[in-house]
Amino acid sequence: MDSTTFSNCKTSSRAIPLSQRFRLQSSPFSHHASFMKFKRLGLVKNRLIARCTSESDEFDSLNGLPLSPNKLFVQEAIGAEYGEGFETFRADGPLKVDVDYLNDKLQDGFLQRIRYAMKPDEAYGLIFSWDNVVADTRALKRKAWKLLASEEGKDIPEGIERLMLYAGGDHLLHKHFLSDKEESELDRLKLRFSQIYYENLLKLERPMEGLEDWLEAVHTARIPCAVVSSLDRKNMVEALQRMGLNKYFQAIVSEEDGMESIAHRFLSAAVKLDRKPSKCVVFEDDPRGVTAAHNCTMMAVALIGAHPAYDLGQADLAVANFSDLSVINLRRLFANKGSRFMDLQKQIIDKNPPKRNLSIDTIF
């Protein structure tokens, strides 16, 4: 039976056996809704292909968790400007499945429109970034850098905490860990940092403050949620189970989906949630993620903390904590849709009514 899938060009030698794959708990939303939607669009025989940029096969694993220093030391691409999408191949030629295409084809059916008229909150889809939104990975990185410095007998100067969290890992290693004569140690330090980071990740049990209450609120409102990350799916689900959040997410975008950019991850999450990109809200803490969300015609809610508020000015809403949010905020995000700068608007053309020609009947 044919189905629309997102697949990688190359497969990992550590593919997860079917018997060991974790599944999310049952939810009121169908896990196959997005694929049924594509069947209705006539894309059953197509395969959406994205190259996997992960190089985890080159490194060891830690308790089944593949170690990939590149994930921690290479900044992920934001994605192209408006129009970013996937390319699907058909017998009659290639087809570009981009943002416009998804917004046009993922339209609500007749019964859905009736339901959403009565319960408008269900029409939205929420997409959560894993880093510093679901899990406090900023603290994990800080601990990893400090432990690595302790093992190497190095002292990390005060005032470089921001550099530890946001600067490139290569720059930090060269500046504080390596000298000109120790270039050969770079790969070893990268791998050791990754080992420490993932060891701490396996112990993570608490989500970000206020997240669970917010997810419970949107779950009660029956709003579907997705989480996106560059981690592999197995360990993503395990981490969600440890934090007690697995029941709240109806879709996961992970390393196995082979997405090339942040925008690709958001679009993939929208498809899995069976929601138009223009009806999705992204929760991010990074200005680059906010930009990617807007490139996908999505709304963006920024979490202040990892970046100051003035760096998140382009977000549609910036909050200090999830406790500052309410479900009504989601409706307000879309209240002014169509009236913002560069939004398409309807133009009313005034037409004068046609003049009536009066004639006199001369026949008596």
pLDDT band at residue 244, thresholds of 50, 70 and 90?
very high
pLDDT tens digit sequence for 165-222: 655 566 666 666 665 556 667 778 888 888 888 888 888 889 999 999 999 999 999 9
Lookup: tokens for 154 = 């190095």
Out of 202, 228, 259, a domain closes at: 202
Regarding whether 100 and 36 lie in a shared domain, the answer is: yes
Domains of the chain: total: 2
Task: Check whether 74 has a pLDDT greater than 80.
Answer: no
Out of 202, 232, 251, a domain closes at: 202
Give the mean pLDDT of 118-122: 89
Q: What is the residue-averaged pLDDT of the chain?
A: 75
Task: Check whether 73 has a pLDDT greater than 90.
Answer: no
| Residue percentage of the chain with pLDDT more than 70 | 65
Contact 124, 335 (CB under 8 A): no
In a domain, residue 363? The reply is no
pLDDT at res. 47: 34
Out of 202, 220, 253, a domain closes at: 202
Regarding whether 245 and 96 lie in a shared domain, the answer is: yes
Regarding whether 242 and 131 lie in a shared domain, the answer is: yes
In a domain, residue 1? The reply is no
pLDDT at res. 279: 92
In a domain, residue 71? The reply is no
pLDDT at res. 241: 92
Task: Check whether 164 has a pLDDT greater than 70.
Answer: no
Regarding whether 127 and 249 lie in a shared domain, the answer is: yes
Contact 193, 69 (CB under 8 A): yes
Better-predicted residue by pLDDT, 143 or 41: 143
pLDDT band at residue 46, thresholds of 50, 70 and 90?
very low
pLDDT at res. 280: 94
Regarding whether 299 and 253 lie in a shared domain, the answer is: yes
pLDDT band at residue 79, thresholds of 50, 70 and 90?
confident
Amino acid symbol at 188: R
Range of the domain at 262: 6-53+83-135+207-333
In a domain, residue 26? The reply is yes
Q: What residues pair up with 6 in beta bridges, in sequence order?
A: 48
pLDDT tens digit sequence for 85-112: 777 777 877 777 788 888 888 888 888 8
Virtual CA dihedral for 136, 137, 140, 146, nearest 10 degrees? -110
CATH code, domain carrying 234: 3.40.50.1000
Regarding whether 107 and 230 lie in a shared domain, the answer is: yes
Task: Check whether 134 has a pLDDT greater than 90.
Answer: yes
Regarding whether 320 and 268 lie in a shared domain, the answer is: yes
pLDDT band at residue 116, thresholds of 50, 70 and 90?
confident
pLDDT at res. 163: 62
pLDDT at res. 85: 72
In a domain, residue 300? The reply is yes
In a domain, residue 153? The reply is yes
Regarding whether 252 and 310 lie in a shared domain, the answer is: yes
In a domain, residue 239? The reply is yes
Regarding whether 297 and 149 lie in a shared domain, the answer is: no
pLDDT band at residue 270, thresholds of 50, 70 and 90?
very high
166-204 burial code (b ≥16 CB/10 A, e <16): eeebeebbeebbbeeeeeeebeebbebbbbbbbbbbeee
pLDDT at res. 13: 38
pLDDT at res. 202: 85
Regarding whether 125 and 40 lie in a shared domain, the answer is: yes
In a domain, residue 341? The reply is no
Task: Check whether 240 has a pLDDT greater than 80.
Answer: yes
Amino acid symbol at 121: D
Task: Check whether 5 has a pLDDT greater than 90.
Answer: no
pLDDT at res. 20: 42
Regarding whether 131 and 141 lie in a shared domain, the answer is: no
Regarding whether 156 and 129 lie in a shared domain, the answer is: no
pLDDT at res. 175: 65
Lookup: tokens for 25 = 């708990």
